[in-house]
Structure 1
Amino acid sequence: MRIDKLLFFLRLAKSRSLALSWAEAGHIRLNGRRIEKGSAAVRIGDIITMPLGDAVLTLKLLSVPVRRGPASEAQLFYQRID
């Protein structure tokens, strides 16, 4: 799945175009590597690091969502790493 679509489905970005702009600006790291394309492939077990407000969010992808559901459902697909 594409990183921009994933961030939208996980409700971390309000729109897919916003997630795409974050990726193209280089704000997101995938498994420690800086990505610059919204089309970067994400798989189960990947570690995603990104700024969220004033903090840095690090999460591990547990499963790939099929749709953009409610927030309570979206939180089941990843685990926050502190």
Structure 2
Amino acid sequence: MRLDKFLKLSRLIKRRTVAKDVSEQGRVWINGREAKPSSTVKVGDELTIQFGQKLVTVRVELLSESTRKEDAAKMYTLLKEEMNKRDSDFLL
């Protein structure tokens, strides 16, 4: 499944166009490598997404072509949520 579609269906990002823009800006990594919107996501992959100053790491658990809102969270497991160290230095 395409990265931008997974981010939208899992509701990690609300809109597919936003998911596309975020990954084009180099703010999404799959298994430690920078990912493009068309990158393929597989079950077991670890995604790291930069939301402003926050880094969120999730593991892909399920791929589905469509999903209901209440089932979207089953598509991934939250592994880590942390402040981006580079940006947090400016907050002190």
Query: Normalising by structure 1, what TM-score?
Result: 0.89
Instruction: State whether structure 2 residue 71 is matched by structure 1 residue 79.
Output: no
Over aligned residues, Cα RMSD in angstroms?
1.2
Deviation at 1:66, TM superposition (A): 2.0
More displaced 10-residue stretch of structure 1: 24-33 or 51-60: 51-60
* Structure 2 residues without counterparts, runs of 5 or longer: 81-92
Q: Whose Rg is larger?
A: 2
* Structure 1 residues without counterparts, runs of 5 or longer: none
Which portions of structure 1, spanning 4 or more consecutive aligned residues, are displaced by more than 4 angstroms?
none
Deviation at 1:73, TM superposition (A): 0.6
Query: Normalising by structure 2, what TM-score?
Result: 0.80
Deviation at 1:5, TM superposition (A): 0.4
Percent sequence identity over aligned pairs:
31
What CA distance in whole angstroms lies between the structure 1 residues aligned with 2:30 and 2:38?
A: 12
Deviation at 1:69, TM superposition (A): 1.8
